[in-house]
Structures are given as structure tokens and as C-alpha cells.
Structure 1
Amino acid sequence: MAVFLLGVGAACCLGLGFVLQQRAAARAPLSDFLTFRLLLDLIHMPDWLLGLGLQVAGQVLGAVALTYGEVSLVEPLTATNLLFAMALSRWLTRQPLGWVGWTGVALLALGVTAFIVAGRPHGGGTPAGALRHWLVVGIVAGLALLVTVISRHLQPSAQAALLALAAGLLYGLQDGLTRVCGQFVRDDGVAGLLTHWQPYAIVVIGLSGILLVQSAFEMAPLRMSLPSLTAAQPLAGIACGVGFLGDQLRLSAGALAWEAAGLAAIVVGVILLGRHPAMPPGVTPERSVGATRVI
């Protein structure tokens, strides 16, 4: 129950934080796209700072949840952040959910429930060796890099979706490495943690993920970026949990079918909610490449 509450609390903070960050990033100059100048501009915007604070709080709650629960359990819970983003967006836009919105809510909730009940994620497996650990990390990070490179040649809406997808992959990887760091702290204490590479990788991944997310928020409305971000993070996190953390899922034919159906329902629900008219439209005034910041 504690892990469940921590996971839902993390989702609430993340969803609210993403909406506030996107409202601010939509006002940043396009010349800052995919550069750290973007972050320097955004820190002058109070709503972005509030959104960042909520995101950090969500990540802290998620890290605590990962200390006591498996990645394969926590990640589907944090995917419900879109429900909280939708609630805030609906309040801001006064837009009713309608059948599309309620269908998205139902699919996301039922998908998370189906995956957890059918898969019964639990630890106890043998963590992977160094080779497999590096292989999984390399594949996820490599996919994020590839998606980012491809996005540079696309239209803004597709670019935002792919940048958010890359950020989601990195955040899922970050969650997996956070779980590893928690194990190090339990075994060797905080001082022992500093002798491993994972905490330093988490810092680099976190900064890269923030830059990608804010660039995606800057380029297009939230409905173009949040679905891919929300869908990619749990998939990458589950891959890391099973790939190198020793997380185990039920593997009977019936369980696998329900797990696949649950993940599919999560993805479809995320897409339906992310593209709902209640999501903020993003850019209000037109911005040229040389535009100045609007506060």
C-alpha cells in the first residue's frame, strides 16, 4: 500500500508539474531550442519554477517508491500522471471530458490494473551481470539518442513527440538506475554509493531529460508531447527492471496476454488523453527565432 500511495503521489506531482512547465516553455524563444540557454530563460518564469519543483517532488516520491517496490510495479503507477495533467488542464480550459476523455481515463486505469494484477511484479530474481546491465543501458540510451537525431529533420509537432519519447526513455532508464542506487545505499551506505558510476549517470540523464522535455514543450502543444513521454517511461522502466534488476513477472500464457493487453490499454489511454482538447494549446503568440522572452 505504501508503494502504491507513493507511486500515485509521484504521478500527481509529475502531471501537474508538466502542465505548468509547458505553459511556460511555450513562451520561450525558439532560438533556445535544444540548448541549455532554454533552461536559463525558463528559470526566470515563476510558473516554470513551480512546475519544476512539482516534477522534482514527483521524482523524489518515485525514488522512495522504487526503494521499497519493483520498477515493474512503480512505473505503471507513475504513468497515471496524465490523469492529473488532464484534471489541471480541464480546470484551466473549462473543457468537458466527453466520451473520448472518459474512454482514455478508463483505458489508462484499467490498463494499469490489468498489468499489475496479471503480472504480479515482484523482486527475488538474480540481478544481471555487468555485461547485460551495460547492454540494456546502452540500448535504451542509444534509442533515445537515435530518436533525438531523427527528430531534428521533422515538423514541429512530430519533433515534439519524438523529443518527448526520447525523454521518456531516459526517465525510464533513470528510474532503473535509481533503484540500483537504493540497493547500494542499503548495502554500503551513502559513502559507498559515491564509488559507483550510477549516481553520476542519473545526474547526466536527468539534465538531458529536462532539456529534451522543455524543448518538446517549447515546440508544440502539450497534447503532442505528453502522450509519448508518459507511454515511453514505464515501458523503458519495465525493460530495465526485467533486464538487469531481477524483477519478475508471471509468464504463463494467460498472464502474458493480460500483461500485453494492459500495456496496450495504457498506451491507447495515454494517447486519447494526451490529444484531448482539454490539453493546453501551448503557443499563444507567434514567436520568431529571434524572439525575446515573454514573462
Structure 2
Amino acid sequence: MTRRYAVNCSILFTELPLPDRPAAARDAGFSAVEFWWPWPDRAVPSDAEVDAFCQAVEDAGVQLIGLNLYAGDMPAGERGVLSDPARATEFRDSVAVTVAIAERTGVRAFNALYGQRLDGVADSEQDRVATQNIAYAARQVGAFGGTILIEPLARGLNGAYPLETAADALAVVERVRAEGAANVKFLYDSFHLAGNGEDLEKVAREHAADIGHVQIADVPGRGRPGTGGIDFGALFGVLDAIGYDGWTSLEYKPQGPTAGEFDWIKEHS
């Protein structure tokens, strides 16, 4: 099976200004990119900022295949706001921006970071609010064939983030589906799963039907394949065996200039 690679331009090519990254990905041989929410300090950027982001993708001639929903100030340590009852309006306002970007660029996969546990708010209330907000986002993007993605994050690196295992993430997927939103799937990320001790092959085989997107980085260190202990040849073989034919996004930290981070692909094309 021919593998389709995309570049996450929020972690790679960061030596360049954000508007220059899609073109850099193209020049490195990629036809598709994904981004975290481009404006970590606000849920609703200006129309001019949204236009500039979309124009950068269009001018580069690449496809935007993934976009994180607004997740708060990630550089400051936040990992989502959708489970926070006090920020539901803020989150839903950001979804309208997401829809506008999707209409312009054609992006159809949206990663919804759950949010960290809050002091003074019952876990059950945070889960209830999160379920409602994810279902809301799913309905909005479902109108044009979009999919919401739910992922666990690496333990110890993301604060009090409650989704650490595939089972944690899939429990959220099932809760949202029970609300009538069928277009919610599991984001399979090799770094977060393996870093938390999950068996990558077992997770892929047991949850093949629920995997909506794949991201990769090695463990430990979150570097490119070959810098850690994951057997990517075996992993890609399993993904082929379960029939995964979506994009494989490179979401790893470069160890030098980004343009030199892709030689490993020759062995796994």
C-alpha cells in the first residue's frame, strides 16, 4: 500500500514564520499539511488573519488535511478548553471559525483536545460539558462531511489531561456517538500511545474501525522515526494489514533544520 505522508507545520518547519511553512513543506516534497490551531492566544482571530492563513495554504498548492480545534494557549501549557464549563461559549465561537476555514480550504479532519482536569469542578460535570461540546462541533463539521478526532496524550507532559490510553479516548468517542454524532473517530498517535505503554499493534488491530487519522513520532523524545525504539516497519505493516488508507502525519520534533528530517521516508514509502 502506498503511504500518504503529511507534515504537521506546527511542530515542523517552525524555524520559519507560519505563513511560509506550507510552501516549505511543498518544497520538501509533500502535498499535504496539517496544523494545530494557528492562534493559541485567541479563539476568534480576525477575518484578515484567517484569510492570511488560508491564502498561505492555497498559494503553496498543498492540501490542508487536518486542523486542531481551538485548544487554549498551548505554548503556556493548556491542552483544550472544551471540558471547561466556563469556556463553552468561547469554544463554540471558535468552531464557527473552523467551519469558515474548512469551507475555504477543504480540510475535513479536526482534532479536539479534551482539556485538563479543573480544580473545583466535578469530573462528571467536565465530562458532560465536553461531550456536549464535541457533539456540537461534530454536528457543525458533519454538515460538510467533516470528522472530529479524539486522542490520548502522553502522561507527564500535558498536565492533568484525563485521556491517556486508547480506551480513554474511545470512551469519549462512544459517549459522543451516543449523542447522535456518528462522525467522531480515534486519532492514533504513535508517540502518545507508546509513551503511555500501549501496544501499538494491539491498539491498531482492536480499534481498526475507529481510527480516523494517524500521527507518528518516535519514543522516547518525539523525534523522527529511527531516533527511538518504535519499529516503524512493523507499525506500517500493521496499518496496511488493517486497511488504513488515510494520511500519516509527521508530528515529530526536528533535531536540526526541518528540511533534513525526512530521509527515513525512503525506507517506508
Q: TM-score, length-normalised on structure 1?
A: 0.25
**Greater RCO (Cα-Cα under 8 Å, separation 6 or more):** 1
Larger Rg: 1
Q: Which has the higher helix share?
A: 1
Q: Which has the higher strand share?
A: 2
